[in-house]
Amino acid sequence: MKKPGNLRQTDEMREEQPRSRRGNRQITEKEADDVEEMSSPRTPVIYEVVRRLGDEEMDRPITSLWWSGVAAGLSISFSLRPSCSRTSRNHRGGF
């Protein structure tokens, strides 16, 4: 049975060891920086980026937003049309 003092020393020793250990090899500090740079951003960061982009879009003129909405609606309508017509044909007896 281990004593609590030994566990505390073990935790301290773990904190002193480099985090970026894989087996017996350690990565360099530059490689650790590269990993940090390439890692995905946290969720709140992504949310803030999307929110700011949305605010910028809302600053566009109203006619520009209207035409954008029309284009999006037409795109969605035309993308769904072939699948809807195939489904309705199957229900009519395969015509």
pLDDT in tens, 50-66: 999 999 999 999 999 99
What does the alpha-carbon distance between residue 40 and residue 20 come to, in Å, rounded to a whole number?
A: 17
The per-residue pLDDT of the chain, averaged, comes to: 75
What's the pLDDT at 9? 45
Decide if 26 contacts 20 (C-beta within 8 A).
yes
Percent of the chain scoring above 90 in pLDDT: 37
What does the alpha-carbon distance between residue 67 and residue 14 come to, in Å, rounded to a whole number?
A: 59
Q: Which residue has the higher pLDDT, 18 or 76?
A: 76
Q: Could you state, in order of their start, the residue ranges of all structural domains in the chain?
A: 43-90
Name the pTM for this structure. 0.40
pLDDT in tens, 10-32: 444 444 455 544 454 788 999 88
